[in-house]
Structure 1
């Protein structure tokens, strides 16, 4: 597995940044290679991507979500990927959006891209475009404020 961590400071309140991030169907507006996302239900999304000429479709499941704090996910099928995005209030008008993602490159091309830092560069660009997307509109395009609680894990104290 390869891990990527990137952050971007966006000039909007934490609630605005979080609300926009929950609008998964807008991701193609700022994520390179993402052609379409369909919100299937509160916890599942269907992705259509085309990266480096390779088209893929897969489902992702939200494993934890708490308003103004975090959204965590993992893929259910297709390329192995998991991650979490967290929202940190810097001040009343600034939010740090921090993304941590793990993925398993599958093809030789993907492995070479990971070694060369191409995916890391793409994630950095996606966060920059998210910043531009949310800062250049009067308000977020929608919101989902519900909670998704992480299922109990081995070793949790009950």
Structure 2
């Protein structure tokens, strides 16, 4: 399984960005080839995507939702994947989202048979660029977080089919810590 991590800076406050990211129903507006995300209950989602030019569905369980800065999920059937989003405040009016995805090569929405990890990474790069445009276009008029999980109703890593993806620390790049976009790909054995 490959672990792909990207980050992007967005010119909206951290809480506003986090609110956008907890509204999974909006993911079709910025995630490459995500057609629809349906909320099944407080902790479960059904994803409908396009992969290799055909519709693919899978379910996931939200395993972490601290309602402040991070949300994680794990597949429950279908495509084997897990992911984590973390939002960090850069200033009062800007934030960074770090997206970590653990997935089999070629299993990202929109992937074609034989896609490499680098091609999967490119799909994620485009999706985060669309997220930036989407969030900045919405501005701070984003409403409240949907709050997937309620107190006492948290899924644990032990109750899912795998372990949640660990957040990797941002590595400085040539542009320094204020770079607008960062990427990392690794393979887990």
Deviations 1:102-140 (A, max 9, x none): 002378x7562124x111001011111001001012422
- 1:13-52 → structure 2 map (5 Å cutoff): 13-52=13-52
- Please state which structure has a larger fraction of its residues in helix: 1
Residues 15, 69 of structure 2: 8 Å contact kept: no
| In 2: Cα distance, 1:152 partner to 1:110 partner | 30
Is residue 91 of structure 2 the alignment partner of residue 91 of structure 1?
A: yes
Runs of 4+ in 1 over 2 A off after TM superposition: 109-112, 145-153
Partners of 1:83 and 1:100 within 8 A in 2: yes
Q: CA deviation at 1:41?
A: 1.0
Relative to structure 1, the CA distance from residue 152 to residue 83 in structure 2 (aligned partners, 3 Å threshold; closer, same or farther) is closer
Would the aligned equivalents of 1:2 and 1:114 in 2 still touch at CA under 8 Å?
no
Q: Which ranges of structure 1 fall in alignment gaps of 5 or more residues?
A: 154-158
Gapped runs of 5+ residues in structure 2? 159-189
Match of 1:54 in 2: 54
Q: Distance in 2 between matches of 1:104 and 1:128?
A: 23
The equivalent of 1:73 in structure 2 is: 73
- For 2:97, what is the secondary structure of its paired residue? strand
Q: Is this contact kept in 2: 1:23–1:142, CA < 8 A?
A: no
Q: 1:120 to 1:106 in 2, by over 3 A?
A: closer
RMSD in angstroms over aligned alpha carbons? Answer: 2.0
Shift of the alpha carbon at 1:149?
A: 3.9
Which whole-Å CA distance do the structure 1 matches of 2:61 and 2:98 have between them?
A: 19
CA shift digits 1:73-125 (9 cap, x unpaired): 01110010001100101110111000011002378x7562124x111001011
1:130 matched to 2:131: yes
- 2:145 aligns with one of 126, 143, 146: 143
Q: Deviations over 1:46-74 (max 9, x none)?
A: 01111231321110110011112100001
Partners of 2:106 and 2:114 within 8 A in 1: no
Q: Structure 1 stretch 24-33 or stretch 49-58: which is displaced more?
A: 49-58
